[in-house]
Structures are given as C-alpha cells and as structure tokens.
Amino acid sequence: LDHYLVVGNPIAHSKSPFIHAEFAKQTQQAISYEPLLIETNNGAFTQAIQAFQAQGGKGLNVTVPFKQEAWALVKQRSTRAERAGAVNTIGFDNQGNSWGDNTDGIGLVRDLTKNHGKSLNNQRILLLGAGGAVRGVLEPILQEKPACCVIANRTVEKAQTLARLFTDLGDISASSYTDLAGQQFDIIINGTSASLQGELPPLPDDIIPLKRGWCYDMMYSAQRTPFIQWALEHGAICARDGLGMLVEQAAEAFYLWRGVRPETEPVIELLKQRLR
Ligand code: ATR
C-alpha cells in the first residue's frame, strides 16, 4: 500500500481524500490518502513533510497556506510550478529526492475545455485577483493562446507584477477595476478570495457580452457563489464554479504519482450530490 497525504490548515473539510479514494477504486490502485493538519508555526511544515518521507510516504498534496513553503522545500520543480511560485503536488523518488508540481492551472483549463466545452483559444480573458490563486493558473491559461489576458486587482501593483512575470508567454496586462469600464471579455475568471466574505469584486455592469460571455469562479460552494450569482444576473450565458477544477487538479496529481489517468466526470457528479 502506497501512502499519500493532503496537508493544509484548515484541512478537515478537504474533499481530496474522497476524490483520491474514488480515483483509486476506479483504477484499482492500492493507495491510502489521508488529511493531515499542520500547524502554521515556523518549521512545522518542513518537519511534517520530512517525517512523512522518512516513514516511506510516496507523495502529498499541499493546500492553503503551505503552497509557497512547498515550492521552497522541494528539490526539483516543474516549469509550470517554477513560475507559479507555488507547489500543490509533491512526490518522492526512490533516491530520496522530492519533486514539486502545480496542477491547479491545468485543472482549471481542463475543466473549462474538456468538461464544459469552452475553448480559451483566441478569447479575451479577464482574471480577477492577483494573489497566489491567480499566479498558479496563469501559465496553463496562456498556453491555450487566448487573444489577451487582463489581470484586474484592487491593488493594481500586484497585478502589474504578475503581468510582468508572465509577459513572455502572451498578451498579458494589468488593470484596476475602474479602468475596466467600457470593455468586455469573453471569459471572466474570479480568482479573488472575495467570495469567502460574501463579497464581489467591483465590476462594471456591462462587462459581460450578453448571452455570449462565460464566467468561472475558482471557488465552489453548495449554493451559488456571489460571483456566479452576479454573472447570471448580468448576462452570462454560462457561469461555473471551481468544483470541476478541484477534481481535475486532483486527477493530474494522481496521474503524476500513479501514471494512470482516472475519469473525472463520475467523481464530479458524486461530489455535486454530496454538496446538495
Ligand atoms: P490567494 O493565495 O487565495 O490568491 P491572496 O494572496 O490573499 O490569496 O489573494 C487574495 C486576492 O483576492 C487578492 O488579489 C485580493 O486583492 P488585493 O491584492 O487587492 O488585496 C483579492 N480580494 C480579496 N478580497 C477582495 C474583495 N472583497 N474585493 C476584491 N478583491 C478581493
């Protein structure tokens, strides 16, 4: 039996153990996958990871607030993780070396393109927020060759820093919320944490092209998120939350560890039923 963990703080409500148990059943892989709460004091994360590796653990998922620490800890990083500045998937090889990857962006892209049939190619994309969540998904989004990618953030400097960091990968720029006035975007992706406080980024009322625009919230919840609700009231033809992204990022991690691709659709369906 190969052992895996998901670590974070908080962690009790993580859906990852359920998702990976379903993947393991489906692909007949003998693994365990447990949640582990790690204290946020200095050094606790590194200690916990090293102890798990010493016990023979094969890999782990890392969630809030440890993805940057995970990035710093691993010996080797994939190119997408390198630029994301964050690692959500760690593996240990037989030589005792650790590698880190970030599967969040490919999870978002696959949910949109494969599950929802929405291509990002040649689309005008607006990303809301400039924190770790947005930085983590920028490279895979730009690889889809959108027409342009605008990052809007309350603190514009953070959006500008991100735009600079990814400028060689495509047409990417930064904006304040007020400067969005008069513009429209084919796809608007919410990567702010505003939903957590039941809040909304201050968007112009006419930013969604009527009956054509798509909206995506990287968050998910049992009820519609405030952003999804707003999108549907302002002309979006489709507004999806991040449940599919959660399952797709997990599937990519599972593939990296096990070399097998699980089917995600049945697991997304099961999760939807459990959320109801
Ligand atoms: P994460 O790693 O989850 O992205 P973060 O780094 O704290 O978390 O970033 C949160 C993002 O949500 C930021 O872009 C933040 O905007 P600021 O950089 O201006 O603080 C954004 N955010 C949080 N609450 C918001 C709100 N009520 N309205 C708009 N943006 C909000």
Residue written as tokens 């998904």? 137
CA 9 / ligand 1 centre spacing (Å): 18
DSSP 34: E
CA distance 196 to 194: 5
Structure tokens at 4: 């895996």
Is the beta carbon of 199 within 6 A of some atom in ligand 1?
yes
Residue written as tokens 């997408």? 80
Q: Tell me, yes or no, if the two domains 2-102+248-275 and 105-241 fold the same way.
A: yes
Q: Which CATH class is domain 105-241?
A: alpha beta
Per residue of the chain (276 residues), what is the pLDDT tens digit?
999 999 999 999 999 999 999 999 999 999 999 999 999 999 999 999 999 999 999 999 999 999 999 999 999 999 999 999 999 999 999 899 999 999 999 999 999 999 999 999 999 999 999 999 999 999 999 999 999 999 999 999 999 999 999 999 999 999 999 999 999 999 999 999 998 888 999 999 999 999 899 999 999 998 999 999 999 999 999 999 999 999 999 999 999 999 999 999 999 999 999 988
CA distance 180 to 182: 6
DSSP 44: H
15 an active-site residue? no
Per domain, the residue ranges of the chain are: 2-102+248-275, 105-241
Q: Which one of 67, 71, 108, 154 would you pick to mutate in the ligand 1 pocket, going by the greatest count of ligand atoms within 8 A of its CB?
A: 154
Buried b (16+ CB within 10 A) or exposed e, 83-122: bbbbbbbbbbeeeeebbbbbbbbbbbbbbbeebeebebee
CA distance 159 to 103: 22
Alpha-carbon distances, residue 99 vs 33, 109, 116 (angstroms): 18, 23, 31
Which atom of ligand 1 has the smallest separation from the CA of 129? 14
CA 142 / ligand 1 centre spacing (Å): 21
Q: What does CATH list as the number for 2-102+248-275?
A: 3.40.50.10860
Can you give the pLDDT at residue 167? 98
Four-residue CA torsion sign, 15, 16, 22, 26: positive
ipTM for the complex shown: 0.97
Q: What φ, ψ does residue 270 adopt, rounded to 5°? A: -60, -40
Can you give the pLDDT at residue 102? 98
Is the beta carbon of 194 within 6 A of some atom in ligand 1?
yes
User: What residues contact residue 113 under an 8 Å CB cut-off, 6+ apart?
Assistant: 119, 120, 144
Q: What φ, ψ does residue 109 adopt, rounded to 5°? A: -65, -45
Is the beta carbon of 158 within 6 A of some atom in ligand 1?
yes
Check 15, 25, 67, 75 and give the catalytic one.
67
For residue 16, the tally of other CB atoms under 10 A from its CB is 23
Is the beta carbon of 162 within 6 A of some atom in ligand 1?
no
CA-nearest of 146, 178, 145, 140 to 159 is: 178
CA 128 / ligand 1 centre spacing (Å): 9
Contact 118, 238 (CB under 8 A): yes
Can you give the pLDDT at residue 276? 80
* Residue owning the nearest CA to atom 29 of ligand 1: 201
